Structure 1
Amino acid sequence: MQPDIINDLWVLLASLLVFTMTISVGFLEIGELNHKLDRSLYKTLIITGFSLFFMGLIGFNIAFAPTIDGVIGNPFYSNLFLGLFSTNLSGGLTGVFWLTGKNFFDTGLSTGTYFLFETAFASVTLALVGVVVLRKIKMSAFILFSIIYFIFIYTIPAAWIWNPTGWLYTMGVRDFAGGLVVHGAAGFAALAILVRIWQEEKKKGLKESKIEHASLNSGWLTLAIILLWVGWFGFNPGSELAFTTETVMVVITTFLAAASAMVSTMGTKFLISKHDPGLIYGVNGVLMGLIVITPLAGYVSPGSAVVLGLISGPIFVYAEKLLSKPKWYSDPIGVLPGHLVGGIFGLLMIAFFTQTSFAIASGASTLPNGILFGGGILALHQLGLEALAVVVVGAFVFTASYISVYVISKFLKGMLQDSEYSDQETANTTTS
């Protein structure tokens, strides 16, 4: 089977759009915190380069090669770096990557195209995790964590849910473009890092975590959300892995959900505060809508996308309020209320809003109609499957991430940047 040239070209372009999202997350960090550019941009450059190198080395095989008992892809399926020096790689000069062939997704993508697409997803996922490190941890600690993340932490859940031989996929779990594999998992990994940061901060005698206060830069913030929104054009529609009429429908559901969430987020904030919510809530509204629609963009109608977007706004505002109360961590970019809460909520909504006609067109022919569309007991079963995926992926990612940063911390004799705490340590130790 030869690659489908149109599908291959479309997914290749989508890959490039998704890659722009990694650097856009760095712009978002700059826009919300207005701190020096060098660390944020350096961090996103490292993430991009490391994702290509370590996913190419072995991570891509662990996630997307035929799995061993549904748990882990064969690490040496296509050798290192997609065949190394071989001229006979399946899906290289000829043929298609195995899971895009007729026996599975049947979209006819070459190995190189599929590798770039999935690696771009891995890259932006770590970028989301990385916003919680801010100026708190040593760059050497983040670099070491990045290597582990691309080889093991990101790839295992991807093998379970996105690989058609993965154990959760074969059970019936679906996650269209990464509500759990990307956004939810990023939230769980970030939470593990925040726990370790707090443990080290307590050892320094701090009574509460060092806070990174918002200091908006409107230009960078606007640039960031525009690039992220455009990048999502590759993120969700590209996840069709083909250029079809359903691909255009995914564009519509994605963009309508983002716009609807912006309206409801700003409206909710205005009703609570009686003040103009400002640029920050417009940006966070768009992001929340994009996050929530991601796991089911290919399974729902435009009307459902609007409803989901309108629901997303109040969820973000109240989740942000609730999750900003603890003083043992600092999450100024909103990874927890946005990506963790939004990703999980969107995933669970698969069981409520799916319509089989859209799901079949997106290659998810086993998905039943959602509860709101008469799915009945089958939809309830789907809800149970998605909830199971949240539990097992959350437990794995949090545990693996915490163990990784704990070992890194011990190896480096602490992972906090001491210089960032020297001015605040005395003040915090006197706070009761």
Structure 2
Amino acid sequence: MNAGTDMALNTVWVVLAAAMVLFMEGGFSLLEAGFVRTKNAVNVTMKIFVDLTVGVLAFFLIGFGIMFGKDFGGIISFNFWGASQSLPIDLNLPLSAYVLFQIGFAIAAISIISGAVAERMSFKAYILIAFFVAAILYPVSGHWVWNPDGWLAGLGMKDFAGSAAIHALGGAAALAFAKVLGPRRGRFNTDGSVNVFAPSNIPLASAGTFILWFGWFGFNAGSTLNAADLNLSVIALNTMLAAAAGGTSAMVYTMFRFGKADPSMTMNGALAGLVAITAGCAFVTPYSAILIGLIAGILVIWGTLAIDKLQVDDPVGAVAVHGVNGAFGTIAVGLFDQQEGLFTTGQFHQLGVQLLGVAVVMVWGFVMSYAAAKLIQKTVGLRVHASEEEEGLDMAMHGIPAYNELERFSDQPGLDEALLLRTGSED
């Protein structure tokens, strides 16, 4: 094939992969809507629309230039859209296709935060957070890892599709925002015990998990940026195997520890496997991918329990799924990489680079997000009023419920008033 045909095929492949990554936002929306209480389902969906609107524009206008512009000492860069001749990466596809693909990554980083702050964050505050993450937080650390001139890239850090640059970063940021925001009312007792807020719709959450799983093939395999890359199928296979292993270990573990196969933990186990394999999907064998997934499925449960003990309220388990397993997946490259892994070759260097890289990215994500949360708290306000939280953010922030049972039954004569009240306030 000639160069023109190669570029055409690459363009089609990357645009399709970008569409799959963008479709993952539908998965985030359904997953979060299923995991939160009914009175907040519209609000979490609206936050995903913030990612797809404000977040997209912020990354296109500011973030991409910081991430891939002309470098200044490996720390920061900036360039405006269209200056393709100064990009430090060699692309065999149009710049527009690459920008579209990177937009999907940027808004995924925001959406990780969305679930961790669900049910009590001000909608105005979330708009500011989406802008901050897409314009500054993700692009700066992404520059360190993925811009060839970035200092972590110069050290040889390997993060093929973003276990560190997206997931560990997003998980650390989610932890910071959730910490400053505080738990939902009634979530923790004074003795430290946890009150369970049951998910509103497990089948809806499972549909979101399936969509995220599907989109992850675009996330990982699409990062080849090359339709003719023979490693593409192995990347996709590793992605599938790690997710299956993560779901398996989480499901079996909950059966033995809690006496029942927990649906939400099984879903998060599969997602944890996906997060963990994202860094190494191009560098490890399928057998290593299975082992990475099995470990991730257990880590997400331990991480969730540990975060509860810290009395940090994370309604969907975002910190455990993305933060804990983003870190583990990044470190796993240093253990299982076929060319430089500790367990495969006996070399320590790559493991050291991976440890340094993920630590720096997570510290950056946590510290900057904590500072941003405090600033927003003192200015526009970070949390909704207690009465709004009690009413539910769907009505308080958006004026419409997710499910209109009250309206459906209100025209029936003789309907008991108490039943109406119970129906309208049920979680």
TM over 0.5: yes
Provide the rounded CA distance (Å) in 2 between the counterparts of 1:132 and 1:111.
Answer: 33
Structure 1 residues 178, 214: closer, same or farther in 2, change over 3 A? farther
Aligned residue in 2 for 1:47: 51
Aligned residue in 1 for 2:252: 267
Provide the rounded CA distance (Å) in 2 between the counterparts of 1:418 and 1:231.
Answer: 37
Provide the rounded CA distance (Å) in 1 between the counterparts of 2:18 and 2:326.
Answer: 21
Aligned residue in 2 for 1:306: 290
Q: Is the 8 A contact 1:176 1:294 kept in 2?
A: yes
Aligned residue in 1 for 2:27: 24
Of the three residues 33, 38, 60, the one matched with 1:35 is 38
Q: TM-score normalised to the size of structure 1?
A: 0.83
Q: Is the 8 A contact 2:36 2:118 kept in 1?
A: no
- Which sections of structure 2, spanning at least 5 residues, go unmatched? 393-427
- The one-letter code matched in structure 1 to 2:130 is S
SS of equivalent to 1:67: strand
Aligned residue in 2 for 1:398: 366
Provide the rounded CA distance (Å) in 2 between the counterparts of 1:401 and 1:149.
Answer: 9
Aligned-pair CA distance for 1:316: 2.1
Q: Is the 8 A contact 2:89 2:147 kept in 1?
A: no
- The one-letter code matched in structure 1 to 2:342 is I
Aligned residue in 2 for 1:174: 158
Aligned-pair CA distance for 1:380: 1.1
SS of equivalent to 1:154: helix
Aligned residue in 2 for 1:280: 264
Structure 1 residue 336 corresponds to structure 2 residue 319: yes
Provide the rounded CA distance (Å) in 1 between the counterparts of 2:300 and 2:16.
Answer: 31
Q: TM-score normalised to the size of structure 2?
A: 0.84
Provide the rounded CA distance (Å) in 2 between the counterparts of 1:199 and 1:316.
Answer: 20
Structure 1 residue 90 corresponds to structure 2 residue 79: no
Structure 1 residue 149 corresponds to structure 2 residue 143: no
Structure 1 residues 44, 207: closer, same or farther in 2, change over 3 A? farther
Structure 1 residue 230 corresponds to structure 2 residue 198: no
Structure 1 residues 272, 150: closer, same or farther in 2, change over 3 A? same
SS of equivalent to 2:279: helix
Of the three residues 338, 342, 348, the one matched with 2:331 is 348
- The one-letter code matched in structure 2 to 1:22 is E
Aligned residue in 2 for 1:324: 308
- The one-letter code matched in structure 1 to 2:26 is I
Provide the rounded CA distance (Å) in 1 between the counterparts of 2:372 and 2:153.
Answer: 26
Aligned residue in 1 for 2:231: 246
Q: Is the 8 A contact 1:100 1:109 kept in 2?
A: no
Q: Is the 8 A contact 1:319 1:341 kept in 2?
A: yes
Of the three residues 121, 124, 128, the one matched with 2:112 is 128
Of the three residues 376, 379, 385, the one matched with 1:408 is 376
Q: Is the 8 A contact 2:32 2:316 kept in 1?
A: yes
Q: What's the C-alpha RMSD, in Å, of the aligned pairs?
A: 2.6
Aligned residue in 2 for 1:15: 18
Aligned residue in 1 for 2:406: none
Provide the rounded CA distance (Å) in 2 between the counterparts of 1:315 and 1:414.
Answer: 30
Q: Is the 8 A contact 1:180 1:295 kept in 2?
A: yes
Output one character per residue of 1:219-269: Cα deviation in whole Å (capped at 9) or x when no partner: 211210110011001011111111222011100000011111111111111
Aligned-pair CA distance for 1:127: 0.4
Structure 1 residues 418, 253: closer, same or farther in 2, change over 3 A? same
Provide the rounded CA distance (Å) in 2 between the counterparts of 1:390 and 1:172.
Answer: 13
Q: Is the 8 A contact 2:269 2:298 kept in 1?
A: no
Aligned residue in 2 for 1:104: none
Q: Is the 8 A contact 2:52 2:107 kept in 1?
A: yes
Provide the rounded CA distance (Å) in 2 between the counterparts of 1:207 and 1:242.
Answer: 55
- The one-letter code matched in structure 1 to 2:334 is A
- Structure 2 counterparts to residues 284-299 of structure 1, below 5 A: 284-299=268-283
Structure 1 residues 423, 22: closer, same or farther in 2, change over 3 A? closer
Q: Is the 8 A contact 1:197 1:416 kept in 2?
A: no
Identity of aligned residues (%): 30
Structure 1 residue 219 corresponds to structure 2 residue 218: no
Structure 1 residues 211, 131: closer, same or farther in 2, change over 3 A? farther
- The one-letter code matched in structure 2 to 1:325 is K
Output one character per residue of 1:293-352: Cα deviation in whole Å (capped at 9) or x when no partner: 11100101111111212222222222222222233x211211222111111011001111
Aligned residue in 2 for 1:429: none
Provide the rounded CA distance (Å) in 2 between the counterparts of 1:211 and 1:11.
Answer: 45
SS of equivalent to 1:108: coil
Q: Is the 8 A contact 1:254 1:297 kept in 2?
A: yes
SS of equivalent to 2:161: coil
Aligned-pair CA distance for 1:210: 10
Aligned-pair CA distance for 1:52: 1.9
Structure 1 residues 53, 245: closer, same or farther in 2, change over 3 A? same
Output one character per residue of 1:193-236: Cα deviation in whole Å (capped at 9) or x when no partner: 122113999xxxx9989977132413211210110011001011
Structure 1 residues 224, 290: closer, same or farther in 2, change over 3 A? same
Bigger shift: 209-218 or 391-400?
A: 209-218
Number of equivalenced pairs? 385
Aligned-pair CA distance for 1:34: 4.1
